[in-house]
């Protein structure tokens, strides 16, 4: 039986562990050739000594699939360019990019220093932008040469990016930026045959062990709602040549898939002239009373 990703060449960043590993294995199981990227760092981004990407490649090959590893830093232009080049050199093409790499440096805002802010935005947000940019440049060149691709990008946001998360101002800002990047990329790249979507997953990984502490333990029997493998089927489908879906954000948790609906105009008032501060305040209070309540920030009481 042919898998939904049969013959596609797929890059997955941060694929040495957790969600990325689950995605890489799931793509391979559906017939894709996979470039497994992982820098091999710790949870806080500190340099590691092992090569988790190579281990995942061994798993894929042991199951009869095709894969190659890439250990470059995708938050640098050189590393992102070499990632795309690895796919093209190894397999002669690139069809799908799954941006997944990230780490945490959690602090309350008053304790969050500039280095921890910059480091998290660098890996999550810049680490999405640069691989996207280099992959998109390749696909644009293909389209201009008359070989319009059926290309896919799947970005990884988070509930923290949609609602915010106490103690994770840097992570929340980066993940919110990924949503905006997804919307812009979908609008700009569609003409080149590229569809771009994002997933906000909830699953058991190194990064979520504190966030989901009460529900981390896998059950003795039955469905494990927090297994990262639950998120991968949606990611694989979005990364395949499936129906036309682009510019969307999905939340995936356990057996639940939700299409997220973002910012859109709510209650409005137009005076047709400049407001006074008192008038603006009175109007704003009235509009807020008419509007739907926002979702609760994770960790707020």
Catalytic position from the list 171, 172, 192, 232: 171
- CA 125, 127, 128, 134 torsion-angle sign: positive
Query: Which residues lie closer than 8 Å to 21 by C-beta, 6 or more apart?
Result: 15, 52, 56, 228
Q: How far apart are CA 259 and CA 53, in angstroms?
A: 31
Q: How far apart are CA 292 and CA 179, in angstroms?
A: 21
Nearest 5°: the CA angle 105, 209, 215 is 145
Catalytic position from the list 33, 157, 175, 232: 175
Q: How far apart are CA 293 and CA 301, in angstroms?
A: 15
Q: Is 271 a catalytic residue?
A: no
- CA 244, 34, 17, 46 torsion-angle sign: negative
Query: Does residue 7 sit in helix, strand or coil?
Result: coil
Phi, psi angles (nearest 5°) of residue 65? -95, 180
Query: Does residue 222 sit in helix, strand or coil?
Result: coil
Q: Is 47 a catalytic residue?
A: no
Q: Are 185 and 255 in contact (CB under 8 A)?
A: no
Q: Is 158 a catalytic residue?
A: yes
Catalytic position from the list 33, 91, 157, 158: 158
- The catalytic residues are 158, 171, 175
């Amino acid at each position: 039986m042919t898998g939904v990703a049969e013959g596609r060449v797929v890059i997955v960043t941060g694929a040495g562990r957790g969600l990325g590993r689950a995605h890489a294995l799931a793509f391979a199981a559906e017939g894709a050739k996979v470039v497994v990227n992982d820098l091999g760092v710790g949870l806080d981004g500190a340099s590691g000594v092992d090569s988790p990407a190579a281990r995942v490649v061994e798993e894929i090959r042991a199951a009869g699939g095709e894969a190659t590893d890439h250990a470059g830093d995708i938050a640098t232009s050189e590393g992102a360019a070499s990632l795309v080049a690895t796919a093209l050199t190894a397999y002669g093409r690139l069809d799908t990019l799954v941006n997944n790499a990230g780490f945490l440096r959690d602090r309350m805002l008053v304790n969050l220093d500039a280095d921890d802010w910059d480091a998290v935005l660098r890996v999550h947000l810049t680490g999405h932008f640069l691989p996207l940019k280099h992959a998109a440049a390749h696909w644009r060149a293909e389209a201009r040469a008359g070989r319009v691709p059926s290309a896919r990008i799947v970005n990884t946001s988070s509930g923290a990016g949609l609602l915010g998360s106490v103690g994770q101002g840097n992570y929340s800002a980066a993940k919110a930026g990924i949503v905006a990047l997804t919307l812009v990329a979908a609008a700009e790249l569609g003409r080149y045959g590229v569809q771009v979507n994002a997933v906000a997953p909830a699953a058991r990984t190194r990064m979520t062990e504190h966030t989901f502490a009460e529900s981390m333990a896998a059950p003795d029997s039955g469905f494990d709602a927090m297994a990262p493998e639950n998120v991968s089927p949606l990611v694989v489908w979005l990364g395949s040549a499936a129906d036309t879906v682009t510019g969307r954000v999905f939340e995936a948790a356990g057996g639940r898939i939700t299409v997220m609906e973002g910012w859109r105009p709510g209650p409005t008032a137009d005076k047709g002239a400049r407001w006074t501060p008192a008038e603006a305040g009175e109007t704003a209070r009235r509009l807020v009373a008419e509007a739907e309540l926002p979702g609760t920030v994770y960790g707020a009481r």
